[in-house]
A and B are shown apart, each in its own frame.
Chain A
Amino acid sequence: TAGITQAPTSQILAAGRSMTLRCTQDMRHNAMYWYRQDLGLGLRLIHYSNTAGTTGKGEVPDGYSVSRANTDDFPLTLASAVPSQTSVYFCASSANRNQPQHFGDGTRLSIL
């Protein structure tokens, strides 16, 4: 059972470069989410999508963009990476409102 697949698993990126983190789900869930996890701050929502074709901003959206062209894919793009974006990024999905989220195993991103 695949569930949520994130790629890459880890990446080192030079500041100023762009990067797209990939996320694919095979559960046909309507909603998808991107979080970052930082020590002492827990999981913070970056962007979300309630359904294909729509996206919304979370708590910390600056410096990130997303798209939801179809149900399965929800890529996260850093247009010009900065060191403060060093973090572990988790993608998640849920069937609908009031449903638990399923998480991928994360992408560990280091910006130098």
Chain B
Amino acid sequence: DQQVKQNSPSLSVQEGRISILNCDYTNSMFDYFLWYKKYPAEGPTFLISISSIKDKNEDGRFTVFLNKSAKHLSLHIVPSQPGDSAVYFCAATGTSGTYKYIFGTGTRLKVLA
């Protein structure tokens, strides 16, 4: 039972265009969501997060949108750069419970120069 789903294993985008990565979740107790970026042979690196009290959080070129009714979040990268090419994981947790974070399976983004 995959509680956090990233249905697109891969995505290719032209440099300068927008990259949109999607994530769906099933557990209504989740109220804190994060995106991580991972390069080969390195550990995941935290990118941006959002609490369920918000529907948008922005940090430079990265924006995360949360649609609680649809149990859906997305990461927008504008403009996309070749250095953004990596695997992106979304993760979710319920802050009133344990410290457990549930990760999606990841989306490999390739930004074409």
Contact = CB atoms under 8 A, between A and B. Distances in A.
Interface of A: 4, 31, 33, 35, 40-45, 48, 50, 56, 58-59, 90, 92, 94, 97-98, 100-106
B65 interface: no
A104 B105 contact: no
Nearest to A32: B99
Interface size class of B (residues with CB under 8 A): 20 to 34
Those 10 A-B pairs whose CB atoms lie nearest each other, nearest first: A103-B43, A42-B105, A100-B46, A43-B103, A42-B103, A98-B95, A105-B43, A103-B44, A31-B99, A104-B43
B34 A44 contact: no
Contacts of A35: 103
Interface string B46-66: 100101000000000000000
Contacts, number: 62
20 contacts: A33-B99, A42-B6, A43-B44, A43-B89, A43-B91, A45-B100, A48-B100, A56-B98, A59-B102, A94-B99, A97-B95, A98-B51, A98-B93, A100-B46, A103-B36, A103-B43, A103-B44, A103-B45, A104-B43, A105-B42
Residue among B89, B101, B105 with the highest chain A CB neighbour number at 10 A: B101
Contacts of A43: 44, 89, 91, 103
Contact of A42 (B32, B46, B104): B104
A86 B102 CA distance: 21
B41 interface: yes
B43 A106 contact: yes
A59 B34 CA distance: 19
Contacts of B41: 105-106
